[in-house]
Structure formats: structure tokens, C-alpha cells
């Protein structure tokens, strides 16, 4: 996680200053729906960042991570860390990988269930 501390990592694009109203929930949510554990989230973020000490490549995006990180209706920790996951991926320049896998998962949700 050393990269989190480097100068410039957390410089966000100015285009991120506005939120589309399409992203707001349209109906009330159930209270306290945690979708995944801290350990699961940590593993997903480590996969994005890689691990130089263990020679792990970066921008590894698993189907399990995409599925949980795009799950609707999550609250509290899960919701904030879904956002964190995609921010980290974008700032670490993994966005092409994330976009491709997200498209695969969206298609699978339509076709696989």
C-alpha cells in the first residue's frame, strides 16, 4: 500500500466533482446490508495494487471482486469500499481492466441468472 502515500496518487480528476443523478438510489434501502468482509475487500485492493514483495502483478481483477464491488444495495462499510475500490483502480490506471470485467459481469448477470 506504499503507493497510496506517494505524491500525486490521490489527485482526482476534476471531472469527478459532479455526480449524475442516475447514480442515486431510487427506492429506500434495507438497513445495514454489508455485502462483503474487510478481508475480502483488502484482498481485492491488493490485487489491484500488486505486491512488490511477493512479485504479484498489479491490476489483477477477479470475477469475485467485480461481482461484489458492483453489487447493488450495499450500505455502510461495503458501500464506501465499493467506491474506494474503483477509485484505487482508476488512479492506479487499472480502469481498462476494470471496465472490461464489469462489462463481462453485467452481461453474465443478464445471461447467467
pLDDT tens digits along 3-25: 667 777 777 777 777 766 666 66
Residue 64 lies inside a defined structural domain of this protein: yes
Structural contact between residues 34 and 77, judged by C-beta atoms closer than 8 angstroms: yes
Average pLDDT over residues 56-67: 86
Residue 102 lies inside a defined structural domain of this protein: yes
Q: Please check the confidence at residue 109 and state whether its pLDDT lies above 60.
A: no
Residue 2 lies inside a defined structural domain of this protein: no
Residue 81 lies inside a defined structural domain of this protein: yes
Q: Please check the confidence at residue 100 and state whether its pLDDT lies above 90.
A: no
DSSP for 63-111 reads HHHHHHHT-TT--HHHHHHHHHHHHHHHHTT-HHHHHHHHHHHHHHHHH
Residue 17 lies inside a defined structural domain of this protein: no
Residue 47 lies inside a defined structural domain of this protein: yes
- pLDDT at residue number 113: 43
In total, how many domains does the chain have?
Answer: 1
For residue 53, give its domain range: 32-112
Residue 93 lies inside a defined structural domain of this protein: yes
Amino acid at each position: 500500500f506504499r503507493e497510496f502515500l506517494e505524491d500525486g496518487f490521490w489527485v482526482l480528476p476534476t471531472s469527478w466533482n459532479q455526480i449524475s443523478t442516475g447514480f442515486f438510489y431510487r427506492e429506500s434501502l434495507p438497513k445495514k446490508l454489508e455485502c462483503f468482509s474487510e478481508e475480502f475487500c483488502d484482498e481485492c485492493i491488493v490485487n489491484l495494487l500488486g505486491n512488490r514483495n511477493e512479485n504479484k502483478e498489479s491490476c489483477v481483477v477477479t470475477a469475485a471482486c467485480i461481482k461484489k464491488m458492483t453489487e447493488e444495495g450495499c450500505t455502510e462499510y461495503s458501500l464506501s469500499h465499493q467506491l474506494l475500490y474503483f477509485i484505487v483502480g482508476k488512479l492506479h490506471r487499472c480502469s481498462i481492466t476494470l471496465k472490461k470485467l464489469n462489462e463481462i459481469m453485467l452481461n453474465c448477470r443478464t445471461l447467467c441468472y
